[in-house]
Amino acid sequence: MIEIRPLRPDDDRQAFSSGDADLDRFFRKYAGQNQFRLHIGTTYVAVRDVEILGFATLTATSITIADLPKTARKRLPNYPLPALRLARLAVAESARGQGIGKLLLRTVFNVAHEMAERTGCVAVVVDAKPTAVGFYEQYGFGAFEMISGELGDRPSPIPMILPLGSIPRE
């Protein structure tokens, strides 16, 4: 039985290995303080018994548009658009092919709907690894260009966005 839930302080993160050194370094060393001390992001984990099979790190973000067009100002207020940012997602090498990424993604979509109800959210933004662009495209994500706000990961992630209206409610 696989459970998806927020990371807990006593979860053993050291054994996790996705094969991506940067993602593993983030998860083992910094996902905890991100969540429990700095409160700047929440990591959801896929867990079987006590083994962590994958994780997804989320944070609230806002999208600001330079010089919003007048026509758009009539339709939307001229302030940043709230969104949910899926900054990092990884699946353990030992758990590949079991649909863990899909389970985590579904959780992300449910969190986006919760966020919309509670504080506002118009879209999900993902920082996709270049090799994962196809995975996200099949769910309707489309690439877009940022002026600033990119992650510092290497290779540079591809920013992609999916409107909340394209996500079914559970």
Binding site for other proteins (CB under 8 A): 22, 25-26, 30, 33-34, 37-38, 40-41, 57, 59-69, 72, 75-76, 78-81, 83, 85, 87, 99, 102, 105-106, 109, 122-123, 125, 138-140, 142, 144-154, 159, 161, 163-168, 170
What is the closest distance, in whole angstroms, from the C-beta atom of residue 133 to other proteins in the complex?
14
Q: Closest Cα partner for 82 from 69, 64, 58?
A: 64
CA distances from 120 to 62, 82, 105 (A): 10, 6, 19
C-alpha 22/C-alpha 40 separation (Å) is 19
What is the closest distance, in whole angstroms, from the C-beta atom of residue 5 to other proteins in the complex?
18
Q: Which is nearer to other proteins, 15 or 76 (CB)?
A: 76
Q: Which is nearer to other proteins, 21 or 50 (CB)?
A: 21
The number of angstroms, rounded, from the C-alpha of 19 to the middle of its chain's C-alpha atoms is 19
- Position 31: which residue type? A
C-alpha 53/C-alpha 9 separation (Å) is 16
Q: Which is nearer to other proteins, 50 or 168 (CB)?
A: 168
